[in-house]
Amino acid sequence: TQLLEQSPQFLSIQEGENLTVYCNSSSVFSSLQWYRQEPGEGPVLLVTVVTGGEVKKLKRLTFQFGDARKDSSLHITAAQPGDTGLYLCAVNNAGGTSYGKLTFGQGTILTVHP
């Protein structure tokens, strides 16, 4: 079983629609990160959430860390074709490591059609 379960796996929407992507776990984390990855490129860090209940906004993207620090969501308002990509959540220190090895979810592939 995956440490981080992301849903949905695939999302295909029209430009202007809103969407939410979820990242769930039964484990508690000290922090959680969201990355976006375009085809043929490496993941790019979008945000790190640290505090339970924390909400962070990045333009049209809103990130929330669950109160119990077990889950997170990413909400995109008025999606644009440029938002197309693979959205990954990741946690560090899984397994008690002290140096920040990242464990990723399987990702959500988002396609925004013009």
Give the 3-state secondary structure of 7-35: ECCEEEEECCCCEEEEEECCCCCCCEEEE
Q: Token pair of 86, please?
A: 């693979």
**Distance in Å, CB of 35 to other proteins, minimum:** 8
**Closer by beta carbon to other proteins, 76 or else 90:** 90
- Rounded Cα distance between 2 and 65, Å, is 19
Binding range to other proteins, per CB under 8 A, among 12-20, 39-47, 54-62, 73-81: 39-47
**Closer by beta carbon to other proteins, 15 or else 38:** 38
Residues 47-106 that bind other proteins (CB under 8 A): 48, 50, 86, 88, 90, 92-93, 97, 99-106
- Rounded Cα distance between 102 and 37, Å, is 15
Length of the chain: 114
34 binds other proteins (CB under 8 A): no
Tokens 């962070």, residue?
56
Please report, as ranges, the residues that interact with other proteins according to CB under 8 A.
Answer: 31, 33, 35, 40-45, 48, 50, 86, 88, 90, 92-93, 97, 99-107, 109
